[in-house]
Amino acid sequence: MNLTIDVGNTRVKTAVFKRNNLVETMFFDKKKIISEIQKILKKHSISNGIISNVATISEKKMKKLQEIVNLQVVSSKMKLPFINLYKTPLTLGVDRIALVSGAVKQFPNKNVLIIDAGTCITFDFVNEKSEYLGGAISPGIHLRYKALHTFTANLPLIDVVELKEFVGKDTKESIISGVLHGVVKEIDGIIADYNNKYVDLTILLTGGDIKFLSKQLKSSIFATQNLLHKGLNEILIFNGYK
């Protein structure tokens, strides 16, 4: 069985796979990463693991993790299940590498646009030849709220991902309407541009704000919460770790 680990700023998400089948997912505080991984290893017969976003983990903890499980660290230097045509491949984020890997596995020989709506909104395009061409990076919903609060004198900090009013009746509603409508129109517009350029486009939506966006977007999309972990598992399998 394989273990995939994605480290966030404060939380860690893990997933256990038996070959290509997702068995279980777990969230826990990053401070407890060693003890929680040890619990997973006691529960499941894990042969191999893979971890992304290790920059915020201390060397001591990384060394300990690698002692208790055969752990690979995602990087652009690994063998990948797609052809990386990014002009600066070494700067391609490991999250984006995993998402593209998952997309290629799920939709082989297809033009695929992957939209990850989290802290940032990333757009990644891989064509029917499994060639990764690049994409775009834009501020996410909560980052836009934070920017309005931080870089103005009087605007409050909002933390809402629910659109009730088109016309904001007060300052709070106006911020919510502006940010959420702006994100939806931006994504719809980018999807339209890709649809105009590439035939038979498959659109995947993932990330923390998937619930709101999947209801708002005009285009036909596949919404999936675990695409990143499926991609991490695919990288392991592609490198011979089964």
- Closest by CA position to 50, among listed 31, 69, 27, 29: 69
Which residues, 6+ apart, have CB-to-CB distance to 139 below 8 Å?
120, 121, 147
- How many Å apart are CA 126 and CA 168, to the nearest integer? 38
Closest residue by Cα to residue 137 from 102, 91, 203: 91
Known binding residue 88? Answer is no
Does 127 appear as a known binding residue? no
Contact 189, 204 (CB under 8 A): no
- Is 111 annotated as contributing to ligand binding? no
10 assigned binding-site residue: yes
119 is in an annotated binding site: yes
Residues 6+ away with beta carbon under 8 Å from 51: 4, 5, 6, 7, 65, 71, 72, 73, 74
The encoded tokens of residue 146 equal 């934070």
Residue 21 is assigned to a ligand binding site: no
202 marked ligand binding residue:
no
Q: Which of 88, 135, 90, 92 is nearest to 116 (CA)?
A: 135
Identify whether 193 is a catalytic site residue. no
29 marked ligand binding residue: no
Q: Tell whether 188 is in a known binding site.
A: no
Q: Which residues pair with 24 in a beta bridge?
A: 16
Annotated catalytic residue within 29, 95, 200, 209: 95
Q: Pinpoint the alpha helices (H) of the chain.
A: 33-43, 59-68, 94-106, 141-150, 171-197, 210-216, 227-238
Is 161 marked as a binding-site residue? no
Q: Does 14 appear as a known binding residue?
A: no
Q: Which residues participate in the annotated binding site for ATP?
A: 6-13, 119
Catalytic annotation, residues: 95
Q: Which residues participate in the annotated binding site for substrate?
A: 86, 93-96, 171
Q: Which residues participate in the annotated binding site for K(+)?
A: 116
Q: Which residues participate in the annotated binding site?
A: 6-13, 86, 93-96, 116, 119, 171
